[in-house]
């Protein structure tokens, strides 16, 4: 009798098991194989901007170990130990292509003033974390880079956004060109109805995403209430295949935005 009961309902049982399995997979991923990110990782996240001789930017991060432990590694481990570095998926692919390393366990000498070992590569998240290098506190402090330049802002339910403080006319180590707009407009702060509109340059990928979301269409467009400020899109940077492609370049510091 019991056998007949399960025989009659075997397709329902199989379907239920499959749903539970798929639900479990989706819980730990975003549905496309990438890993969901707990927003808590961005709390107290410290960043350093380092620059190649050509003026390209590389982002190094110091994150809470408990939060990094929630991340998944595609190879190696997810928490940097003494003298090791954990790399985001996109940056790892770029470094391998450039011949900087070939596998987890490889040593990289004189990386912006430090000698380190690749301890792990994180699984893809489809966020800015894919572009980061994570270090332990000692190597983060030793790294030759700028603090208070790059920072991440996060709105509830929204993707984390990378910002870079760039002051008009400064002799910055960051070098970039625009594919749209004019850098001369970056010096202009508009005032409309008593409210300031600050200039904003978008990275290539971020501009594409914001256009898809219909937040702007062309340089000159204005956005009100953008992370607590008003902005004028003055340009789109040329594609660099670095974290700059996902950045917002703005003449303001982290404390000026919400």
Could you tell me which residues come within 8 angstroms of residue 168 by beta carbon, excluding any fewer than 6 positions away? 186, 187, 199, 251
C-beta atoms surrounding 256 within 10 Å? 14
Low-confidence ranges of the chain (pLDDT < 50): 1-2, 5-6, 13-30
The whole-number pLDDT of residue 36 equals: 86
CA distance 145 to 149: 9
Q: In the block, which residue shows the tokens 């969901």?
A: 36
The whole-number pLDDT of residue 21 equals: 38
The whole-number pLDDT of residue 200 equals: 98
The whole-number pLDDT of residue 19 equals: 34
């Amino acid at each position: 009798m019991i056998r007949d009961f399960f025989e009659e309902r075997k397709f329902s049982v199989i379907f239920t098991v499959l749903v539970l399995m798929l639900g479990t997979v989706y819980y730990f991923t975003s549905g496309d194989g990438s890993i969901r990110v707990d927003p808590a990782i961005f709390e107290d996240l410290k960043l350093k901007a380092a620059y190649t001789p050509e003026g390209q930017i590389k982002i190094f991060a110091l994150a809470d170990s408990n939060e990094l432990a929630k991340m998944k590694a595609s190879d190696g481990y997810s928490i940097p130990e003494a003298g090791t570095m954990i790399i985001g998926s996109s940056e790892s692919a770029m470094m391998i292509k450039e011949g900087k390393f070939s596998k987890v366990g490889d040593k990289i000498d004189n990386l912006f003033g430090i000698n380190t070992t690749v301890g792990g590569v994180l699984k893809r998240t489809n966020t800015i974390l894919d572009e980061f290098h994570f270090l332990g506190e000692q190597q983060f402090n030793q790294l030759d880079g700028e603090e208070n330049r790059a920072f991440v802002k996060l709105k509830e339910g929204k993707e984390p956004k990378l910002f870079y403080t760039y002051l008009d006319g400064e002799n910055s180590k960051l070098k970039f060109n625009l594919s749209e707009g004019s850098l001369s407009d970056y010096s202009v702060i508009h005032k409309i109805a008593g409210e300031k509109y600050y200039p904003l340059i978008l990275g290539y990928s971020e501009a594409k995403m914001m256009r898809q979301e219909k937040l702007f269409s062309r340089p000159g467009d204005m956005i009100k209430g953008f992370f607590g400020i008003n902005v004028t899109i003055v340009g789109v940077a040329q594609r660099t295949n670095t974290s700059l492609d996902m950045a917002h370049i703005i003449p303001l510091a982290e404390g000026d935005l919400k």
